């Protein structure tokens, strides 16, 4: 003979209704930084931007950001006096990466605000359902 066993859950752990979908973190791929950058160039620059460090220029690879700043404060010209067009390309690429990182940060902020708003609505709904169930006196029927 088949006997169904009821499992008693504590009042706090019972969920009523469907649960919202979990949102994934916003991921940045190579194309998020713009099409003019080479493979890996955008993510490498973004790593410096996220850490709040200066993006190294040609000839500075292998030096730490702090070392470069120390040399520049001592009077050395680390970035060199390259052709004006090359300098414009470098500035454009850096600005592309920085604006993409700002967009990502804004999207993350908006996502967090949306999650907070959704959680507030869900909690209000749970309170309303719990008060309805208490008022009917039938708290174990769901």
Long-range contacts of 40-48 (CB under 8 A, 24+ apart): 41/93, 42/96, 42/97, 42/100, 45/93, 45/94, 45/97, 46/97, 46/100, 46/101
- Residues in the chain with pLDDT < 50? 139, 141
Q: What is the pLDDT of residue 105?
A: 87
Give the pTM: 0.43
Label each residue of 24-41 as H, E or C: CCCCCCHHHHCCCCCCCH
CA-CA-CA-CA dihedral for 108, 35, 54, 98, to nearest 10:
-40
């Amino acid at each position: 003979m088949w006997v169904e066993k009821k499992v008693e859950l504590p009042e706090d752990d019972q969920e009523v209704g469907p649960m919202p979908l979990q949102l994934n973190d916003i991921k940045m791929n190579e194309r998020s930084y713009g099409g003019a950058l080479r493979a890996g160039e955008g993510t490498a620059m973004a790593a410096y931007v996220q850490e709040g460090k200066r993006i190294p220029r040609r000839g500075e690879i292998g030096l730490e950001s702090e070392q470069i700043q120390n040399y520049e404060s001592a009077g050395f010209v680390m970035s060199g006096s390259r052709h004006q067009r090359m300098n414009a390309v470098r500035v454009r690429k850096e600005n592309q990466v920085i604006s993409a990182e700002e967009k990502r940060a804004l999207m993350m902020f908006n996502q967090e605000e949306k999650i907070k708003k959704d959680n507030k609505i869900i909690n209000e709904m749970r309170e309303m359902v719990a008060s309805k169930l208490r008022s009917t006196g039938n708290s174990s029927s769901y």
